[in-house]
Amino acid sequence: IVRFPLPANVPASLVVPAADQNIAGTGQQIVVLGNSAAGGVVPVLEGSVLAVGPLWVEYDAESVKGNSGGPII
């Protein structure tokens, strides 16, 4: 389980407004993309959303060293 808290000064364009928090809901399937091996190959790691808060999304997809900054779709 990984939880990424966001700093208080996150740009408004990156924050999901309270009215739209149902976009990512508990149990929703996700994929995490990254390039941890730096070989130009993007592994797809599957998981699901565990919780959504006002400043964080918690999910259960595997965390791979070097994938920081990759998208969660």
Q: And the tokens for 23?
A: 């976009």
Among 58, 8, 67, smallest CA distance to 37 is for 67
CA atoms of 22 and 40, how far apart (whole Å) = 33
Identify the pLDDT of residue 18.
Answer: 53
Parallel, antiparallel, or unpaired: how do β-strands 2-3 and 44-52 relate?
Answer: unpaired
| Tens digits of residue pLDDT in 15-51 | 655 544 556 688 889 888 887 777 777 778 899 999 8
Greater confidence (42 vs 61) lies with 61
CA atoms of 53 and 18, how far apart (whole Å) = 9
Greater confidence (21 vs 67) lies with 67
**0.85 exceeded by pTM:** no
